[in-house]
Structure 1
Amino acid sequence: MRTLLLIIAFQFLIIDGFTQQNKFVLKGTITDTLYHLGKVVLIYKDSTDRFKFDTAITTNGKFSFKGELPIVSRMQLTVHAEPNLSLSKRNKQIEIYFAIENCDAEVTISKFNDYTIRGSNCYNDLLSFNNALNPLFKKHKGSELIQRQNALVDSFIMAKPSSYVSLLLMYERISNATYLGELNQWFNKLPENFQKASIGLNMQKKLKKLKEIAPGQLAPNFTMPDLHGNMVSLYDYKGKYVFIHFWGSWCSPCRQENVNLVNANLSKNNENLIFIGVSVDESKTDLENAILKDKITWTQLTSFKGFTQTAMLEFGVKGVPRNFLIDPNGKIIAMDLRGSELLEKLIGLVQ
């Protein structure tokens, strides 16, 4: 399959409890003679939910793997050229990424990202989806492209809710979501056995977190150190409006938002509006340089542990910029405000 375009980032996902067959056989053929005496490495998650690294030696371009999946797994297959070639040729390798269920499948590989798989329903559905997806990249850009992609995903899930691909698409949508919206309704369109599978349970956890941080909900408390080592809790500021900005020194949109807030001069002489920055930086020097350059004067919290810090976990932050506006009662009243919309909201609170 040439240039398989996935809107799903490659991840090792497993789905269990859906079919009778609990083993897979993957037979392969490599047409390029450069790899006819090479080595093949297959990485996937096995039935114990552990990464499995299998190797096979090609014989006249043929190889075979077998194993046991919970039901379906994403896989990475790497083909290395025969070891007795010159160094420049030996460094050449083919990598392909795909997903199959427990089945008897055959893969034919020509070169990088040029392959076909027979015998897998998951592969067939993914091929069908991408045949519809690929033309969108040629016809549309920006927000229009995103809207078209989302519409395609919606229509695919509606048409094939029992497809493994629908489950993967739903997982991608929920994993990248920053607000709840209609995700619960879409999740409920999946078959019950998908919802109760391990990947379905993971999605339910994310949906629960999105509900907890939605506007109208009580903001979760957290305690983190500031740059001077003082411990600061969010609930220390109850009775005031609190604007929390999750950011990083390397994030251009984050830095621009800092500049906008500094220029608006909203953080000074406004006792009822508190600004808190939570940095995902792991380097103190990088953070301090950014604070100095952006002329930030409000409190900055960090333990220099990236996205594993307490505040990130409590608010489900997996990317920046993110922000939350909290009212004096501790409830979230807005989130992910940007540019003029953000400034207008904050100015309205201090006037």
Structure 2
Amino acid sequence: MNNIKIIILLCLVFNQFFASIGWAQEKHGFTITGKIKGLKEGETVKLTFEDTWPIWGNGWTKPVASALVKNGKFTIRGYLPDGPRLAELEFSRTNADMKQPFPPFLMDNENIVIHGRVRAKILPSQSIIIEGSRSNEERKKLFPYFDIWRQGLRDRLTDTLQKLNGLLGYNKDFMAGIERLKLEQLAQVKRGLVQNSSGQAAVPYYVMQCFDAVGHDSIVSLLYDRLDEHIKTSYYGKLMQNRLYLCEGQPAPNFTSFTPEGKSVSLKDVTAKNKLTILDFWGSGCIPCRNEFKEYTVALYNEFHNKGLEIIAVSWDKNEKSWKKAITDDQQPWINVSSLKGFGDSVYSSYKIIHTPQNVVIDQQGKIVAWNISGLELHWFVDKYLNK
């Protein structure tokens, strides 16, 4: 019995020793084999990953791996420690001839083959085939659902309502019909997502890419719970998990900030006194924000303030004079606050705001009830909520 214990102990010691000097088996990484016609002999192919969410300016990492083109072929090897990432290939010489950048693709530690042809007059997305990446296939499979949700049910609907506003104005029957149609289509999209997204690596990627449109919906928590554990701890999985507290139905993060006169304002105190509170993120240099104020928000506030609506406009301004001048010029009647720290404002950090305009609607219990609704849609939401 003692001999067996000694043997087991020796095995453990030797295993740790071999691992420490690099004799242990290496983790399985990725291999990208490229067979692309049109590349220049000897040029460098570089692999980069999406670095920040969302893509904002130059949101790509420095090259993480590279290879030289030989006889029209290249092989890039490496290891992804944090699961699937959106990747892109750069070519040191051919890139200048391409009409658009190489199509990005989702990849994990997989054996990937990329083939096709690069020509100056043909878009890479039309002539390049990417095979072997399960993550990217999942991405293509889920694309229609997120595209309909983001483009069809948010962007296009908003554009349509803005165009009809000049013709119909605010019409309750019309808005009720629009809402029914939207909810029916949204229900179909959500059913499709739940049925087709179990355990898939592309889910957190798409949630983050479409975050402004879909990332705050209560269904996001359900989608996250259905992910495999290794996807939850992946790069996009951790980003998704870190934003679940901002979903509709969750308590709105409390904060205290200051008015132009230096008076402190607590979100918790404001929401407790009003049936509905809108946090509006803006800045004096944000033209769409200020246009929205002039065209819709001032009238909305004047109509519903006495019925229980309050607005707190949180500015990303750094210049106090510019901030105060914009408030005066736009005749903003609501509560204005700012720390004058730009997007480094703690309120912006708490709500993960990296661009404007954006807004959050909060009920009297301090819970988030809606994100990023504007114009006629916001008017209808407030009207229906305060008169229910």
Fold equivalence (TM over 0.5): yes
Q: Which residue of 1 aligns with 2:41?
A: 36
Deviations 1:239-271 (CA, angstroms, capped at 9, x unpaired): 632734313242536632455443467399969
Distance 2:145 2:386 in 1: 46
CA pair 179-267 structure 1, distance change in 2 beyond 3 A: same
2:30 paired with 1:24: yes
The amino acid that maps onto 1:222 is F
- Taking only the aligned residue pairs, the percentage that are identical comes to 18
CA contact (8 A) 1:194 1:200 kept: yes
* Aligned 8 A contact 1:246 1:321 in 2: yes
* 1:81–1:91 Cα contact (<8 Å) kept: no
Distance 1:32 1:285, change over 3 A: farther
Flag the structure with higher helix content.
2
Check if 1:280 corresponds to 2:316: yes
Residues 1-351 of structure 1: pairs in structure 2 closer than 5 A = 22-32=28-38, 35-44=40-49, 52-70=63-81, 71-81=83-93, 94-111=101-118, 112-113=124-125, 114-128=127-141, 142-143=156-157, 151=188, 154-155=191-192, 158-159=195-196, 161-170=198-207, 172=209, 176-177=213-214, 179-197=216-234, 199-210=236-247, 214=250, 217=251, 219-235=252-268, 237=270, 240-241=273-274, 243-248=277-282, 249=284, 250=286, 252=288, 255-263=291-299, 266=302, 275-281=311-317, 287-317=323-353, 320-327=357-364, 331-332=366-367, 335-336=370-371, 338=374, 339=376, 340-341=379-380, 344=383
Provide the C-alpha distance between the structure 2 equivalents of 1:146 and 1:41, rounded to a whole number of angstroms.
44
The CA distance in 2 between the partners of 1:297 and 1:52, in whole Å, is 50
- How far 1:183 sits from its partner (Å)? 2.8
Structure 1 counterpart of 2:18: none
Distance change in 2, residues 1:279/1:178 (3 Å): farther
What SS does the corresponding residue of 1:276 show, helix, strand or coil?
strand
1:194-224 Cα offsets, whole Å, 9 max, x none, are 335454344333223326x64xx4x533122
- Secondary structure of residue in 1 paired with 2:103: strand
Compute the displacement of 1:303 (Å): 2.8
Q: Give me the whole-angstrom Cα distance separating, in 2, the residues matched to 1:21 and 1:146.
A: 46
Whole-Å separation in 2 of the counterparts to 1:196 and 1:188:
12
Q: Distance in 1 between matches of 2:224 and 2:239?
A: 12
| Distance in 2 of aligned mates of 1:204 and 1:197 | 10
Mind listing any 5+ residue stretches in structure 2 that lack a counterpart? 1-25, 52-60, 119-123, 158-180
| CA distances 1:69-88 after superposition (whole Å, capped 9, x unpaired) | 124322121113279xxxxx
Provide the C-alpha distance between the structure 1 equivalents of 2:94 and 2:215, rounded to a whole number of angstroms. Answer: 47
Distance 1:25 1:278, change over 3 A: same
Structure 1 residue 312, shift from structure 2 partner: 2.8
- Given that 2:67 and 2:75 are in contact with CA atoms closer than 8 Å, whether structure 1 keeps it comes out as yes
- On the 8 A contact 1:76/1:98 being kept in 2, the answer is yes
Q: Is the 8 A contact 2:114 2:130 kept in 1?
A: yes
> Could you tell me whether the CA contact under 8 Å between 2:33 and 2:76 is conserved in 1?
yes
Q: For residues 200 and 28 of structure 2, what CA distance do their matches in structure 1 show?
A: 17
Give the secondary structure class of the aligned counterpart of 1:331: coil
Q: How many residues align?
A: 315
Point out the structure with the larger strand share.
1
CA contact (8 A) 1:40 1:56 kept: yes
Alpha-carbon shift at residue 56 of structure 1 (Å): 2.9
Aligned equivalents of 1:32 and 1:202: distance in 2? 38
2:37 touches 2:117 (CA, 8 Å); kept in 1? Answer: yes
Larger radius of gyration: 2
Scaled by the length of structure 1, what TM-score is found?
0.67
Does the 8 Å contact 2:107/2:136 carry over to 1?
Answer: yes
Larger mean Cα displacement after TM superposition, 51-60 or 67-76? 51-60
TM-score (norm. length: structure 2): 0.62
Contact 1:259 1:294 in 2 (8 A): no
1:346 and 1:109 map into 2 onto residues whose CA distance is: 55
- Give the secondary-structure state (helix, strand or coil) at the position aligned to 1:105: strand
Q: List alignment gaps of at least 5 residues for structure 1.
A: 1-19, 84-88
CA positional deviation for 1:238: 7.2
Residues 23 and 134 (structure 1 numbering): CA distance in 2 closer, same or farther, change over 3 Å? same
- Give the secondary structure class of the aligned counterpart of 2:242: helix
2-side partners of 1:134 and 1:176: how far apart? 10
CA distance in 2: counterparts of 1:105 and 1:322, whole angstroms: 41
Q: CA deviation at 1:39?
A: 2.5
* Distance (whole Å) between structure 1 residues aligned to residue 307 and residue 100 of structure 2: 61
